[in-house]
């Protein structure tokens, strides 16, 4: 078995979705003081608030109350680690605090990253293999476009849905396997000779995914109503995956005894890294050039798209012979998922209406018909000020390079640990300081509230209806109170208008109900508690 190791570096943020949407204020809490998203550990929260308050917790969620504020009332100095099963940093200008949308203010959802069973952010080998397969597929189509141009072979009209559908498996079978029936293709698919393992990363961040959208008439916007927070593997992360190309099986296929099987598996000689790297880079370069040709002459908006073209231009520079750039995951768009071969190959097919064919294709791949008048695709996902998502650099190690890389692993891990420790200490310090500040704020609010409840002496001229502070000195059906007005310190009055006993010392607000001709207070009446 020919096993090699591939270093994967994220040139731009990478998101492989788990399929879950994390609900704000329920499944995560956002600590703005440290820009930390804490995925809620229900057991930790319940231990903090007490099981007897479980119903209040549920009611708070139902009423869309603020869970973090509720927790802080019980533990003012609460840290993200106190409530979290895991945490991530929130980066960029748009954070997962409350958003106002369609007149409603709510906590936004976060599209969750896929994790492995051991709790690490995951890039599945199947996702990476699929992207490599797309690049290889486009290489084969460019070399021999005949099958790709026979549109009727894989385009069929669905009477029930009243629109065209495209059967990609039938077309792929013509390039990846030489069999008479498409159903036999998987057993003879040349990509069975490439086996890619999963890649595990160390951390994730939360950032905003935006959409550069065509409005029509060659005008573009950053579309507000489709902005989405995503959890992703950050730019600059590294991971290793193992790749196997079964050399023993390839050797066996050269044996005359297996010629019948081997003849059904085309392009076997191309499943080796030098050729795959060339195919991947050629496909990525072609797609990037398409993007540049489309957008560089356009007037793109400044709010989020300014870096998009600059990032694309710099992706394929300074590559070594054992390196390639590939795009994977969420937000990569229709062209990257397919390679955009249809747009190239159908343009000059005789007796084919290219515009109509592209319109039929657009209708087939879009979820809604309201965008059918626009070119395919009409939008691009970007993040962090126009940076595209999902670009990876792959470095394929030789045995010597792998040994050298491994020899420096301890040094890299130590440096990574130092960076993480420094980052965690800074975040913990920021959280601690913020929590202490919050505790002081709450204490000051409480002190001010208590101070405000204390009675204040009125020293002005009394008039009818003047509100005054009073303190209960005798608790009875008709309470007696001392009024805080200059000259009345030793007198008591019946608390007219309140017929139930109040605890001695209770401070209430009363009003001057009767005055004599000398403006002296004769009777007071209850107004409200203080």
Cβ neighbours of 509 (radius 10 Å): 14
Nearest residue to 1 (alpha-carbon basis) of 190, 193, 129, 187? 193
Q: Write the pLDDT tens digit of every residue in 120-157.
A: 999 999 999 999 999 999 999 999 999 999 999 899 99
Cβ neighbours of 240 (radius 10 Å): 17
Using pLDDT thresholds of 50, 70 and 90, give the confidence band for residue 373: low
312 is written with which tokens? 């694309």
| CA geometry: angle 353, 355, 359, nearest 5 deg | 115
Q: How many CA atoms lie within 13 A of 453 on its CB side?
A: 11
Determine the pLDDT at residue 238.
92
For residue 118, CA distances in Å to 5, 121, 200, 354, 519 come to 21, 9, 9, 49, 81
Q: Write the pLDDT tens digit of every residue in 302-347.
A: 665 667 888 888 888 888 999 999 999 998 877 778 888 998 899 8
CB 382 within 8 A of CB 376: no
CB 35 within 8 A of CB 90: yes
Determine the pLDDT at residue 151.
92
In whole angstroms, give the CA distance from residue 428 to residue 79. 8
Mean pLDDT of 383-387: 75
Using pLDDT thresholds of 50, 70 and 90, give the confidence band for residue 62: confident
In whole angstroms, give the CA distance from residue 165 to residue 154. 8
Q: Write the pLDDT tens digit of every residue in 234-254.
A: 999 999 999 988 878 878 888
Look at residue 409 and tell me whether its pLDDT is greater than 80. Answer: no
Using pLDDT thresholds of 50, 70 and 90, give the confidence band for residue 225: low
Mean pLDDT of 421-448: 78
Q: Write the pLDDT tens digit of every residue in 255-301.
A: 888 888 888 888 888 888 999 999 999 999 999 998 888 887 777 77
For residue 329, CA distances in Å to 128, 205, 233 come to 9, 16, 11
Using pLDDT thresholds of 50, 70 and 90, give the confidence band for residue 89: very high
DSSP 123-138: E-HHHHHHHHHHHHHH
In whole angstroms, give the CA distance from residue 204 to residue 113. 8
Q: Write the pLDDT tens digit of every residue in 295-309.
A: 877 777 766 566 788
Positive or negative: CA dihedral 463, 524, 458, 441: negative
524 is written with which tokens? 């007071």
* Helix 42-49 vs helix 54-62: crossing angle, to nearest 10: 120
Determine the pLDDT at residue 362.
84
Determine the pLDDT at residue 329.
92
Q: Which helix (H) or strand (E) holds 433?
A: helix 409-453
Q: What is the CATH number of domain 467-529?
A: 2.40.50
Q: What are phi and psi of 120, to 5 degrees?
A: -105, 145
Determine the pLDDT at residue 323.
95
Look at residue 56 and tell me whether its pLDDT is greater than 80. Answer: yes
The average confidence (pLDDT) of the chain is 87
Q: Token pair 């397969």 is at which residue?
A: 133
Positive or negative: CA dihedral 397, 398, 401, 405: positive
| Helical residues (DSSP H) of 184-301, grouped into ranges | 185-188, 247-253, 259-262, 273-295
- Ordered by start, the domain boundaries in the chain are 122-407, 467-529
In whole angstroms, give the CA distance from residue 73 to residue 89. 24
Look at residue 1 and tell me whether its pLDDT is greater than 60. Answer: no
β-sheet bridge partners, residue 87: 38
CB 298 within 8 A of CB 221: no
Cβ neighbours of 355 (radius 10 Å): 10
β-sheet bridge partners, residue 222: 212
Cis bond before residue 377 (omega within 30° of 0): yes
């Amino acid at each position: 078995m020919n096993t090699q190791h591939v270093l994967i570096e994220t040139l731009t943020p990478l998101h492989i979705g788990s399929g879950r949407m994390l609900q704000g204020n329920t499944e995560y809490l956002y600590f703005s003081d440290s820009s930390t998203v804490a995925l809620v550990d229900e057991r930790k929260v319940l231990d903090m608030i007490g099981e007897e308050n479980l119903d209040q917790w549920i009611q708070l969620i139902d009423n869309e109350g603020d869970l973090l504020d509720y927790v802080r009332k019980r533990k003012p100095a609460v840290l993200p680690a106190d409530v979290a099963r895991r945490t991530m940093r929130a980066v960029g200008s748009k954070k997962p605090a409350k958003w106002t949308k369609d007149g409603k203010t709510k906590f936004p959802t976060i599209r969750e990253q896929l994790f492995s069973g051991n709790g690490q952010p995951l890039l599945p080998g199947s996702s990476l293999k699929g992207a490599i397969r797309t690049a290889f597929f486009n290489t084969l189509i460019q070399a021999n476009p005949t099958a790709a141009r026979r549109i009727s072979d894989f385009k069929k009209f669905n009477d029930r849905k009243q629109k065209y559908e495209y059967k990609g498996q039938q077309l792929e079978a013509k390039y990846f396997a030489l069999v008479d029936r498409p159903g036999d293709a998987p057993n003879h698919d040349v990509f069975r000779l490439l086996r890619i393992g999963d890649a595990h990363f160390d951390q994730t961040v939360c950032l905003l995914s935006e959409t550069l959208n065509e409005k029509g008439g060659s005008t573009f916007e950053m579309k507000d109503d489709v902005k989405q927070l995503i959890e992703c593997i950050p730019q600059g992360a590294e991971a290793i995956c193992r790749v196997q190309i079964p050399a023993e099986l390839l050797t066996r296929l050269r044996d005359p005894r297996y010629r019948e099987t081997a003849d059904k598996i085309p392009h076997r000689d191309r499943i080796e890294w030098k050729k795959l790297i060339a195919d991947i880079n050629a496909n990525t370069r072609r797609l990037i050039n398409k993007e540049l040709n489309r957008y560089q002459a356009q007037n793109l908006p400044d709010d989020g798209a300014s870096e998009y073209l600059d990032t694309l231009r710099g992706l394929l520079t300074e590559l070594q012979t054992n390196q390639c750039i590939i795009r994977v995951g969420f937000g990569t768009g229709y062209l990257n998922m397919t390679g955009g071969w249809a747009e190239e190959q159908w343009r000059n097919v005789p007796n084919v209406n290219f515009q109509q064919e592209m319109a039929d294709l657009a209708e087939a791949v879009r979820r809604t018909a309201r965008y059918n008048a626009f070119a395919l695709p009409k939008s691009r996902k970007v993040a962090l000020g126009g940076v595209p998502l999902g670009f990876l650099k792959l470095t394929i190690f030789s045995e010597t390079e792998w040994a050298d890389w491994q020899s420096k692993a301890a040094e890299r891990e130590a440096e990574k640990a130092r960076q993480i420790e420094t980052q965690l200490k800074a975040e913990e310090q920021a959280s601690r300081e913020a929590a202490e500040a919050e505790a002081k704020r709450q204490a000051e609010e409480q002190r001010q509230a208590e101070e405000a409840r204390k009675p204040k002496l009125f020293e002005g001229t009394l008039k009818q209806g003047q509100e005054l502070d009073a303190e209960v000195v005798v608790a009875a059906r008709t309470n007696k109170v001392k009024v805080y007005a200059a000259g009345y310190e030793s007198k008591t009055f019946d608390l007219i208008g309140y017929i139930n006993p109040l605890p001695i010392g209770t401070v209430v607000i009363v009003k001057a109900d009767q005055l004599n001709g000398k403006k002296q207070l004769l009777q007071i009446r209850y107004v409200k508690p203080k």
